[in-house]
Amino acid sequence: MSLKKKALIAMAAIGLSVAAVAVAAAPANAAGSCASGHYCAWNSTGYNSPQIVDSATTANTTVSVASNYIRSWQNHQSRRWCSVTTNGVSSTITGYFAGNTDVSSAGSSVNFFWPGGTGSC
């Protein structure tokens, strides 16, 4: 594991235990609708309910997830987002979501999201 990835995981764990900023989900948009400048995730394929994340947050925050599994997402930001799982001891990046992408059918286990910069988390 690269030093950069280890540092990110350590920062994520510290953020969870010390000063994590949870972002409450906004009211759900219509199916398949995610506003410009937002990152959205759903617990079903095809951007159908329930929508579990709708965030316009900037980098260096964590975004808690109500469900531990996402099946579709829309990233309408230029920054990359990462999904992170925790097991009480360590954190693992389970997915990378490139900027300005939509994925209607996939799956990723997740406890929280970490929005990164334009190319990394």
Q: Which two tokens stand for residue 117?
A: 């910069």
Q: Facing residues of 95 across strands?
A: 83
Cβ neighbors of 17 (< 8 A, separation 6 or more) are: none
- Residue pair 43/85 in contact (Cβ under 8 Å)? The answer is no
- In this predicted structure, the answer to whether residue 14 has a pLDDT above a threshold of 50 is no
pLDDT tens-place string over residues 64-112: 886 678 889 999 998 889 888 888 888 888 888 899 999 988 877 788 8
Residue 10's alpha-carbon distances to 13, 101, 121, in angstroms, are 5, 27, 13
